[in-house]
């Protein structure tokens, strides 16, 4: 068999020096790849020729010298850019780079899984991987199974996928009762609850105004001002495979008996004159998480008339759905309403994740294949970091460096059940 000296080498273009990417256990390479996937993904076609050569070489079992520290980077590259299934990638590395390679990537699993979610919209079930930490199972949007989802060290959330297109799921235990009560108290204490406005109301075309369609009161809470809200937004972003940079300030809503929110879509409508300004930076509302903070005694269901779905409020549960389809087109079928509350009070919270992050740190990854002096192919992966220092940012709660997608896994943020 051809003994190809295939190695990964990384080089930064105008960013961190070569060694910084390879020389230690730094998260920089994965952060780079992840930011590229979570920010403005490079078209897979740009990589296809090189990627297929790399993938072909790997799967053909050619002699491979993959620098140990580059293993997670190799995995990230194949997942983020080549759109390969993480489980397959890890098995491949195990086979060609040596038994145990997959386990060496285990510390990176949360990030790799999230990267896979953000680039493919689905994640591997890696608990079948020998040596992987037990219990790492993630919701798979496409397999129809209801699964237990572990958010890293944190809460166990039971995710039930209700339907595929538009993708809609119910997340039981998304918030603990304490967290839900905290957010309600924070909204009350803010003094900012005011009659709700609507961004887009189909029947009248009214926008950004108070109208009969929405009679609740609401207020926004920024992640900066409240640690619990920050944690919850991180959780939503984590599950979606996005970063908190994709989130708007959360919106808390409060309904008294008789109050409701008539059928609407959550997206910004292109017919709205302010649409360009509203969507210029972050794009439209890709995902809605509607979280029940306090259930009412009766009424107040969230209903999707086109889909024939009704959900009675249940404290701590979240409904999550994609407002845009897989091609980025507004999905009319996500029409939904909050039915009038008939008894008791209902509190809820909207977490909207946009198509693009607030600030995108554009990174580039370029794979080149060249012959070395013996004529064997040499594969080089060049990753360019954004200019202007992109070192690890310490977590505000625990001080540890935050992970590749700007998230910290610290106990304080995620809590334990």
By the criterion CB under 6 A, which residues form the site for ligand AKG? 253, 261, 266, 290, 302, 336, 338, 348, 350
Among ligand AKG, Fe ion, none, residue 154 binds (CB under 5-8 Å by kind): none
End-to-end Cα separation, the chain, in angstroms: 53
The beta-strand segments (E) located in 243-357 are 250-255, 261-264, 285-294, 298-299, 302-304, 309-311, 318-322, 336-338, 341-343, 346-354
d(CA 96, CA 257): 64
Q: Is 81 in the site for Fe ion (CB under 5 A)?
A: no
How many CB atoms within 10 Å of residue 359?
Answer: 9
d(CA 307, CA 296): 23
* Min separation Cβ 287 and ligand AKG, Å: 12
* Min separation Cβ 336 and ligand AKG, Å: 5
φ and ψ of 100, to 5 deg = 95, -10
Residue with smaller CB distance to ligand AKG, 285 or 378: 285
Residue with smaller CB distance to ligand AKG, 36 or 168: 168
Among ligand AKG, Fe ion, none, residue 84 binds (CB under 5-8 Å by kind): none
User: What's 18's DSSP letter?
Assistant: H
Nearest to residue 81, comparing CAs of 57, 49, 59?
49
Residue with smaller CB distance to Fe ion, 116 or 266: 266
Both tokens of 201, joined, read 């109301």
d(CA 22, CA 5): 18
* Min separation Cβ 288 and ligand AKG, Å: 7
Residue with smaller CB distance to Fe ion, 175 or 198: 198
| Structural element, H or E, at residue 218 | strand 217-221
* Min separation Cβ 261 and ligand AKG, Å: 5
Q: Number of residues interacting with Fe ion: please give it, by CB under 5 A.
A: 1
* Min separation Cβ 276 and ligand AKG, Å: 22
Among ligand AKG, Fe ion, none, residue 302 binds (CB under 5-8 Å by kind): ligand AKG
Nearest to residue 113, comparing CAs of 95, 140, 131, 91?
140
Among ligand AKG, Fe ion, none, residue 136 binds (CB under 5-8 Å by kind): none
Residue with smaller CB distance to ligand AKG, 136 or 304: 304
* Min separation Cβ 302 and Fe ion, Å: 8
Position of minimal CB gap to ligand AKG: 338
For 285-309, give the DSSP string: EEEEEEEEEE--SEE--EEETTTTE
Report 248-287 residues binding Fe ion (CB under 5 A).
266
Residue with smaller CB distance to ligand AKG, 111 or 200: 200
Position of minimal CB gap to Fe ion: 266
* Min separation Cβ 168 and Fe ion, Å: 13
Among Fe ion, ligand AKG, none, residue 338 binds (CB under 5-8 Å by kind): ligand AKG
Residue with smaller CB distance to Fe ion, 226 or 266: 266
Residue with smaller CB distance to ligand AKG, 299 or 404: 299
* Min separation Cβ 342 and ligand AKG, Å: 14
d(CA 361, CA 400): 21
Among Fe ion, ligand AKG, none, residue 126 binds (CB under 5-8 Å by kind): none
d(CA 140, CA 123): 6
* Min separation Cβ 189 and ligand AKG, Å: 21
b/e sequence 10-43, b meaning 16+ C-beta within 10 Å: bbbeebbeeebbbeeebbbbbbbbbbbbbbeebe
Residue with smaller CB distance to ligand AKG, 64 or 253: 253
With the C-alpha atoms ordered 223, 228, 233, 238, is the resulting torsion angle positive or negative? positive
Return residues touching Fe ion (CB under 5 A). Answer: 266
């Amino acid at each position: 068999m051809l003994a190809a000296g295939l190695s990964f080498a990384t080089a930064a273009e105008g960013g961190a020096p070569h060694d910084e990417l390879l020389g230690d256990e730094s998260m920089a390479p994965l952060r780079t790849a992840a930011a590229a996937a979570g920010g403005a993904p490079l078209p897979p076609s740009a990589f296809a020729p090189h990627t297929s050569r790399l993938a072909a070489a790997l799967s053909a079992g050619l002699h491979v010298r993959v620098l140990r520290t580059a293993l997670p980077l190799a995995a990230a590259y194949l997942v983020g850019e080549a759109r390969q299934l993480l489980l397959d990638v890890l098995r491949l590395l195990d086979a060609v780079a040596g038994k145990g390679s997959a386990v060496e990537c285990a510390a990176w699993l949360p990030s790799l899984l999230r990267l896979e979610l953000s680039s493919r919209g689905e994640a591997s079930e890696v608990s079948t991987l020998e040596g992987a930490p037990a219990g790492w199972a993630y919701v798979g949007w496409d397999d129809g199974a209801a699964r237990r989802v572990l958010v890293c060290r944190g809460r166990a959330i039971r995710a039930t996928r209700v339907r595929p297109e538009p993708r809609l799921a119910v997340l039981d235990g998304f918030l603990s009762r304490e967290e839900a009560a905290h957010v309600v108290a924070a909204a009350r204490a803010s003094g900012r609850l005011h009659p709700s406005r609507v961004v887009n109301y189909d029947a009248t075309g009214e926008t950004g105004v108070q109208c009969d369609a929405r009679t609740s009161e609401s207020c926004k809470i920024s992640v900066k001002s409240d640690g619990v809200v920050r944690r919850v937004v991180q959780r939503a972003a984590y599950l979606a495979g996005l970063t908190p940079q994709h989130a708007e300030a959360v919106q808390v809503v409060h309904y008294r008996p008789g109050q409701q929110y008539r059928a609407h879509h959550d997206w910004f409508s292109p017919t709205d004159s302010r649409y360009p300004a509203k969507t210029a930076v972050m794009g439209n509302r890709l995902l809605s998480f509607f979280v029940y903070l306090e259930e009412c005694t009766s009424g107040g269901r969230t209903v999707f008339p086109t889909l024939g779905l009704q959900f009675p409020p249940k404290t701590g549960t979240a409904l999550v759905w994609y407002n845009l389809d897989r091609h980025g087109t507004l999905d009319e079928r996500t029409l939904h309403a909050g039915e009038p509350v008939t008894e008791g009070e209902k509190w809820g919270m909207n977490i909207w994740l946009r198509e693009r992050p607030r600030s995108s740190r554009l990174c580039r990854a370029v794979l080149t294949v060249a012959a070395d002096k013996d004529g064997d192919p040499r594969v080089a992966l060049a990753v360019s970091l954004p200019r202007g220092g992109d070192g690890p940012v310490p977590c505000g709660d625990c001080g540890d460096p935050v992970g590749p997608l700007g998230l910290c896994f610290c106990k304080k943020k995620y809590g334990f059940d």
